Every structure is written in C-alpha cells, then in structure tokens.
C-alpha cells in the first residue's frame, strides 16, 4: 500500500525519513509543515535519520508535501509510513535525539546562503559583519562534526554556550536557525584574532595572509600583483603548480575567466568548488604558468565575503575593476592542510606575513574541491569540501568493507548497505604527516558511520603506505589490481556489473603479471577482469625518476624509433643525457605500458617540459597548446590487441614540427587510436558499454574526443561523474570489487 493511500485510512502515522536529513533544518521544516496542517505528534533525529509521528485530519496532505518542500540542503533517500495507535495529546513538538547504532549521515559544508549574506551586511542585524553567521541552510557541517546524531554537543560548537538571543532563535520553530547546531553571534560565538580591515589592508599592501577557513588554513594574496604571487611561490616552495583565484561574484570572476551557464552554476553552487575555466590571461602570469585554464572560486564562508568587501570599499582597484585574490591551501611542503592554531602559527610563520586564527575547532580537515565541465557535465578533479561525505548509491546492498586506495591522490571508502562513502581528498601518501592524516580520516569515517568493516581492500602493490596500513589492521585482506579498480569505480557509479570494456589510461599501476601497467584495455564482469589489450611497451629509464623528468621518456621514445644517437644532442641541457643514451641499449631496462608516460614523451620531444615540478605538469602544459585536435593519417598500429603510436611519434620526433601543431596532432591522433582500439575490441567481445577511467581522462581534450568517437561508432562510453577519474576514485572501485567478492563467497557458502 502506498504511503498516500495509508495516510487516507489512518489517523496516526509513523514516518521514517532516511538520507541527508540532519543538520539541514529538517526538523523545523517538519514542525512547520505539521503546524500548517494542524497535526499533533512529534519529530526527532534518530540513528537512521528522522522519525515523525503525525495525527489529525490532514495526514495525507502532510505525507504528500513532505518530499516536495524540503529544505535546500536536505536529501531524502526513503520515506517509510506505517500505522500506529492513536495517542492522546495536543500539539506538535520536537523531541530530543534518539541514540543507537547510526545509519544516517552528515551533510557537506555549504557556502553562505543569500539570507545570511543579507544579514552579514545589514547594519540593523545582530549578525552585522559577523564572520561566523550561519543557519540551517548554510555553514559548516562535516568539518565541525565529531559524531552522529548531528547535535550541538557532538560538534566543535559544544564549547560555546548560546546567549539568550541565540537560544531564543534556536528554540523558535519559526526561525531559520531553529536547531541550527552551529548558531552563534558576536556575543556568544567564535571570534577572529584580527579585524577584517587589518586583513584587507595586508592583502592590499602586497602581503601574504593566512586565514583559518572551513576545512583548514588558506593563504591569500593579490592575484594581480606579480611580485606578491611570486613571493608566495618562493615561500611555499611551489614552483609551477597553479593557484586558485577567488572573486566576490561570478560577474567579478568574468573579468579574468570565461565560462558558460553550466560552469557558472558550479561556481555559484552551495558546494563552492574551484572550477577550471578558460583564462583571459589578465592576472599575474605566475598564477597558472604555461596553462590556458585557471581555477576560479567564489567566497565560501562569511570571512571571505567580508575580506573582499573590505578590499573593494577601502582599496578599490585603480582600473575600476574587481578584486581577485589567490586562495590556496596552507600545506607546507605538500603536507596535509593545517587546522590547529598553534601549529599554524609555527609552520606558517615563514610563509605568511599575517596569520588570522579563530577559536572554533576544525574537527575534519577538507581541502577545496576542484571540478571542470566536460561534455557539458561536471567532472571532478578533486572531491572534498562541499561534497563529502555525500554517499554514492550502489546498485545493491553489500557487506561493509574499508578500501584504502593507492599512493597518490589518496582517498578511503567505506560501504554501508547500498551506499559507499568516499572520504575527502587526502593527497599523496609520501610523508609521515600525510599518512597520519590518512589514518585520522579512516578512524573518523568508520566511527561517524558506526561501521565495523568485515574486510580491508587494498592495491596489489606491496610497498604502498596504504597497503601497509591494510596489513596492520589485522582484518581480512582483499587485494585488487590497480586498473581493475579504476574500471570498477566507473562501473559501480553507473550501476553496471558487466560485461563491459574498460579503457584505463593512467600513469602507473602494478599489473597482474608484476609489470608496469598504465594503458590498458580490459574486459570486466562482476569481480573478474581480463586484460585484452595494452599500449606498446616503452622503456622506462630511471624508473620513478622518469615520471618526474619527461625528457627521459622522450629519450626512450627516440631510442625506440632508432634515433638513439640524437639523445645527447637534443637533451644536452641534461647532465645525464649521454649516460642515458647508453643505458637504453641495456637489455634489463624496465618497460611500461603507461599512457601518462606517452604524454610525457610527447611533451619532452616538443620542448613543452623537460622536468616536472608537480604531477601531470607536462601533460597539462601540452593540453594547453591545443586549439583544435587533428589526426595523423596512419598514425597508429593495432596488432594482437597492442596499440602502438610509433607512426605518430615519428612525426613528433621531427624538430621541424611546431609545438602547438605537435600538441594538436598528439591529442587528436591518440584519441582516434583509442576509439579504433575500443571499437575493434568491443566488436570482438560482443559488448557495447565501455568505461573510461584513469588519470589521463582528466585531460578534457582526450576525454571529449574519445567519448565523441565512441558515440559515433555506436558504443556507450561512460565517464566518471561523481568521482575523479584518477586515483581519487580508486578506493571506491576497490570497495565495490571487495564487497562483491565477499557477497559472492557468502552466496556460494549458502548453497553448499
């Protein structure tokens, strides 16, 4: 019987609502709805979500309206309705939260809502110019929550006793702050260590300012000031990696970036991610050296709004334009974001000229999310603040597992029923602080979700910090091959169990045969996969060092083309070029099928980048030179499932080729070759679905060209949308395979 039909027949109903329904104003919303329909009963948080009992003549109207008028941050997964006995009593109330085993969730942090923003700049409001104004529609959630249910004593706000005015709003069902757990005002809430005018004056004076944001400390400076940006690079020891830029509004961002309606919607969304946009090249060149796109974002917290407002009011730009400020993570030396005030004071003293703290703790650190629009839809590059801990729905309920990802762009995933919770971006596990952050994240994720995993899933590679962490848990272990996990991540997101093909293009993953894989064509079904193709192997001179020095991969390509004698001359600036030429003649040099190393080889041959200061730099700078990709006729060879781009690289090895022409030729030909490769394999395998995964699909040109080509050939290409295609989505794929493996084993044992 439907909920609506039941509501027509029963006088008292008990409803249970699951989803993102705590900390979003759902209880006051229910209270207002019940009051409107003159119903008796109650609403309360419980470990599974929200429980409601209603009694009266218009229960059917209530049930019908409940999902339609929900608060803006609420997400309803299910509503169950059952009849209960009538209870004597009048009125409707909000009860205290019920305790027990948790199966609900916390919503993500949300940017300042329009109503709070209006109060922020309203002189008559008690929240006037208060940098911590928030309500049930906005403000911190996940980053201040210690546990569930989401109530004030379980958050970083437990240290701030509400004043009488805040307590009155908190208890008033008609207020937007009714049960807003982070409610605070200048009388009773957190305070900054410096006033807004001092912060704005420092930025306007070309100084570098560190501020405590929602998920961690950020570094700010004038994005138009070439010397300030360069000084920030030197102090942070960040040579080339791009910085994000914040503007007061989308209109202000349009002064330095181009964007369409879809990109504007992302900029203005409550998640407030960094959005990669086409640059107008009007800011300091050192913001994004050698790149054609710039990471733009709008204010996330009231503090950002106040700083930009003060800059415009007291220090208006001479050209009449709008302020733009660098807003980058304050993580010295590639370590995790700083969140502790004392540590920030010590670690940022040599970077920032002014350090602005406040006395509200950050419980869970979360970097800014980074997104772009590919093929007309959002695509994650980094999934963190504003999106976590929103779960990804699975095709079916599975056992609870913990998956620990890989070594780069690390995340962890926990499954619970038919949901998978992927952690915020953690980063590369190449230092002790990052590993501690990873361990801290796993503890918080499992405890918040109240999950005890039955197994820990990890990468095949035995030397990864994540693998060692898995081994130390003492739990049942399941190892999953790297590229199979990439494929499974996309398949699980799209509810696909196969059979399907997977084109996985990335930098490195330990192969099932112990080799260096990275450009793979797989056939996947359920928990199994078969490697049916790969890129032609290329020597990897120097091992991991080759991934940091693209000239080495260019030299390896020259050697494979029979042009080894050119290496010393073409790379004379590299001290080891002559020795490398001799090394490549040795038979025991390791080889790789990596697609990422092909991008490096192309960039090295074209002179785009000889050395990389950050992962993917060569590929990103190569992509930046592309205006219109084109295809070299006969630019590839496919034999026995092996794709060789030797004919293409014969062209690229010519020193007469223009850099932009070479970049366009490489992208267009590589994409066309991948489509041809996939179409042949799909025909032979009798499948139509092809998933596209791996870090190389962060390249928008490659992703769009391969997708377009597959569609034209009648295939169904699937790109990741809820997670990044790189290793940021790896743990999700691992979790899906591991959980399916356990479920399959249980099924077999049950039929034995």
State pLDDT tens for residues 438-464.
999 999 999 888 899 999 999 999 999
Which residue in 186, 40, 742, 16 sits closest to 415, CA to CA?
742
Q: What's the alpha-carbon Rg for the chain, to the nearest Å?
A: 27
Nearest alpha carbon to residue 186 among 137, 128, 136, 141? 128
CA-CA distance, 655 to 658, in Å (whole number)? 8
Q: How many CA atoms lie within 13 A of 743 on its CB side?
A: 17
**Average pLDDT score over the chain:** 93
Q: What is the separation of C-alpha 151 from the centre of its chain, rounded to a whole number of angstroms?
A: 26
Q: Rounded to whole angstroms, how far apart are CA atoms 406 and 518?
A: 14
Nearest to 323 by CA among 205, 228, 223: 223
Query: If you write DSSP's letter for every residue of 214-235 in order, what string do you get?
Result: SSSEEEEEETT-HHHHHHHHHH
Cβ neighbors of 545 (< 8 A, separation 6 or more) are 552
pLDDT 10s digits, 680-696: 999 999 999 999 999 99
Q: What is the DSSP pairing of strand 642-644 with strand 538-539?
A: unpaired
- How far apart (Å, rounded) are the C-alpha atoms in residues 277 and 266? 11
User: Which segment of 12-21, 22-31, 231-240 scores lowest on mean pLDDT?
Assistant: 22-31
Q: Does residue 428 surpass a pLDDT of 80?
A: yes
**What local confidence, expressed as pLDDT, does residue 752 receive?**
52
In angstroms, rounded to a whole number, what is the distance separating the alpha carbons of residues 288 and 279?
Answer: 9
Domains detected in the chain: 3-94 (3.30.70.100), 196-370 (3.90.870.10), 391-480+726-752 (3.30.420.360), 533-718 (3.30.420.40)
48 has pLDDT over 60: yes
Query: Does the pLDDT of residue 4 top 80, yes or no?
Result: no
Pairing of strands 209-212, 75-83: unpaired
| Stretch among 172-186, 551-565, 617-631 having the lowest mean pLDDT | 172-186
Whether the CA torsion 279, 285, 289, 294 is positive or negative: it is negative
Return the bridge partners of 606, or none: none
Check pLDDT > 50 for residue 6.
no
More confidently predicted of 99 and 671? 671
- The residue among 477 and 582 whose pLDDT is bigger is 477
**More confident: 701 or 655:** 701
Output the pLDDT for position 333.
Answer: 76
% residues pLDDT > 90 (the chain): 84
Longest dimension (CA), the chain: 94
Alpha-carbon distance of 422 to 410, in angstroms, equals 10
Residues of the chain by 3-state class (helix, strand, coil), percent to 5? 35, 20, 40
pLDDT at 550: 96
Residue 5 has pLDDT above 50, yes or no: no
Cβ neighbours around 484 below 10 Å, total: 25
pLDDT for residue 750: 66
Q: Which residues of 159-178 are buried (b: 16+ CB within 10 A; e: fewer)?
A: ebebbeebeebbeebebbbb
Report the 3 state secondary structure along 92-111.
Answer: EEECCCCCCCCCCCCCCCEC
Mean pLDDT of 48-52: 90
- Least confident piece of the model among 1-10, 153-162, 362-371, 698-707: 1-10
C-beta separation of 361 from 217 below 8 A: no
Tokens 């609870």 appear where?
Answer: 400
Reported residue count of the chain is: 752
pLDDT digits (tens, 9 = 90+) for 497-528: 889 999 999 999 999 999 999 999 999 999 99
Q: What is the average per-residue pLDDT within 238-260?
A: 97
Closest CA to 334 of 420, 263, 181, 437: 437
Q: Provide the sign of the torsion angle of the four alpha carbons 477, 480, 485, 491, taken in this order.
A: negative
Does residue 7 surpass a pLDDT of 50? no
* Predicted local distance difference test score (pLDDT) of residue 751: 61
Contacts of 498 (CB under 8 A, 6+ apart): 491, 524, 525, 526, 687, 689
Mean pLDDT of 725-741: 97
> What does the alpha-carbon distance between residue 324 and residue 224 come to, in Å, rounded to a whole number?
7
In this prediction the pTM is 0.92
Distance between alpha carbon 367 and the CA centroid of its chain, in Å? 9
Q: How far apart are CA 121 and CA 128, in angstroms?
A: 6
Sign of torsion, CA 369 370 376 377? negative
* Banded model confidence at residue 422, pLDDT cuts 50, 70, 90: very high
**Model confidence band, residue 99 (pLDDT cutoffs 50, 70, 90):** low
Give the bridge partners for 625, in sequence order. Answer: none
Residue 250 tokens read as: 């989308």
How far is it, in rounded angstroms, from Cα 503 to Cα 517?
A: 12
Q: 666 falls in which pLDDT band (50, 70, 90)?
A: very high
**Does the pLDDT of residue 3 top 70, yes or no?**
no
Q: Is the model's pLDDT at 147 over the cut of 90?
A: no
State mean pLDDT over 288-292.
96
pLDDT of 1 reads 40
Q: Where are the alpha helices (DSSP H) in 85-239?
A: 114-120, 164-170, 196-204, 226-236
Mean pLDDT for the stretch of residues 224-244: 96
What's the DSSP call for residue 170?
H
Least confident of 30-44, 83-97, 532-546: 83-97
Q: Rounded to whole angstroms, what are the CA distances from 41 to 217, 219, 236, 454?
A: 45, 50, 57, 40
Choice among 166-175, 460-469, 488-497, 741-750 with the minimum mean pLDDT: 741-750
């Amino acid at each position: 019987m439907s909920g609506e039909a039941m509501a027509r027949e029963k006088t008292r109903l008990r409803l249970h609502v699951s989803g993102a329904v705590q900390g979003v104003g759902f209880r006051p919303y229910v209270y207002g709805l019940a009051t409107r329909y003159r119903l008796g009963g109650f609403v309360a948080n419980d470990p599974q979500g929200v429980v409601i009992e209603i009694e009266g003549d218009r229960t059917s109207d209530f049930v019908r309206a409940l999902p339609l008028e929900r608060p803006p941050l609420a997400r309803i997964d299910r509503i169950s309705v059952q009849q209960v006995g009538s209870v004597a009593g009048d009125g409707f109330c909000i009860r205290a939260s019920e305790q027990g085993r948790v199966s609900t969730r916390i919503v993500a942090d949300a940017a300042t809502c329009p109503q709070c923003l209006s109060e922020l700049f309203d002189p008559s409001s008690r929240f006037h110019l208060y940098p911590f104004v928030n309500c049930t529609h906005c403000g911190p959630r996940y980053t201040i929550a210690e546990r569930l249910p989401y109530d004030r004593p379980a958050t970083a706000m437990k240290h701030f006793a509400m004043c009488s005015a805040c307590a009155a709003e908190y208890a008033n069902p008609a207020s937007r702050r009714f049960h807003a757990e982070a409610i605070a005002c200048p009388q009773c809430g957190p305070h900054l260590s410096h006033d807004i005018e001092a912060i704005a004056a420092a930025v306007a004076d070309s100084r570098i300012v560190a501020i405590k944001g929602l998920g961690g400390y950020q570094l700010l400076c004038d994005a138009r000031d070439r010397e300030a940006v360069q000084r920030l690079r030197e102090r942070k020891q960040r040579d080339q990696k791009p910085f994000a830029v914040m503007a007061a509004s989308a209109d202000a961002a349009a002064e330095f970036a181009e964007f369409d309606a879809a990109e504007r919607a992302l900029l203005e969304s409550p998640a407030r991610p960094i959005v990669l946009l086409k640059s107008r090249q009007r800011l300091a060149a050192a913001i994004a050296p050698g790149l054609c796109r710039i990471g733009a974002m709008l204010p996330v917290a009231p503090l950002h709004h106040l700083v930009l407002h003060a800059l415009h009011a007291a220090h208006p730009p001479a050209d009449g334009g709008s302020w733009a400020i660098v807003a980058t993570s304050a993580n010295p030396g590639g370590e995790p974001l700083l969140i502790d005030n004392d540590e920030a004071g010590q670690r940022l003293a040599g970077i920032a000229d002014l350090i602005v703290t406040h006395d509200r703790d950050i419980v869970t650190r979360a970097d800014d999310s980074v997104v772009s629009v590919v093929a007309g839809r959002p695509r994650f590059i980094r999934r963190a603040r504003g999106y976590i801990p929103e779960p990804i729905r699975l095709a079916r309920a599975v056992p609870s597992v913990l998956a620990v990802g890989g070594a780069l762009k690390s995340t962890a995933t926990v499954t619970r029923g038919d949901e998978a919770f992927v952690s915020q971006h953690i980063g590369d596990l190449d230092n002790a602080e990052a590993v501690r952050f990873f361990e801290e994240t796993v503890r918080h994720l499992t405890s918040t979700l109240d999950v005890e995993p039955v197994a820990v899933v990890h990468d095949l590679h035995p030397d990864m910090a994540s693998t060692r962490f898995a081994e130390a848990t003492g739990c049942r272990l399941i190892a999953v091959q790297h590229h199979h996990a990439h494929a499974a991540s996309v398949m699980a997101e799209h509810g696909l169990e196969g059979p399907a093909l997977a084109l996985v293009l990335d930098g490195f993953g330990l192969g099932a045969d112990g080799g260096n894989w990275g450009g793979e064509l797989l056939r996947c079904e359920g928990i199994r996969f078969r490697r049916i193709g790969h890129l032609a192997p290329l020597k990897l001179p120097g091992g991991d060092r080759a991934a940091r020095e693209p000239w080495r991969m260019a030299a390896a390509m020259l050697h494979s083309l029979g042009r080894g004698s050119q290496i010393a001359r073409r790379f004379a600036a590299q001290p080891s070029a002559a020795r490398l030429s001799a090394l490549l003649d040795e038979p025991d040099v390791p080889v790789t099928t990596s697609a990422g190393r092909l991008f490096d080889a192309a960039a090295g041959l074209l002179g785009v980048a000889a050395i990389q200061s950050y992962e993917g730099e060569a590929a990103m700078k190569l992509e930046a030179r592309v205006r219109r990709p084109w295809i070299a006729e006969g630019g590839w060879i496919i034999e026995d499932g092996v794709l060789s781009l030797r004919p293409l690289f014969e062209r690229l090895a010519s020193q007469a080729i223009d850099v932009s022409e070479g970049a366009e030729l490489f992208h267009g030909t590589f994409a066309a070759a991948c489509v041809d490769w996939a179409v042949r394999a799909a025909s032979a395998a009798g499948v139509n679905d092809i998933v596209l995964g791996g870090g190389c699909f962060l390249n928008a040109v490659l992703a769009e060209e391969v997708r377009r080509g597959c569609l034209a050939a009648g295939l169904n290409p699937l790109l990741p949308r809820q997670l990044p295609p790189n290793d940021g989505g790896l743990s999700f794929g691992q979790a899906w395979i591991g959980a399916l493996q356990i479920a399959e084993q249980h099924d077999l044992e049950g039929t034995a």
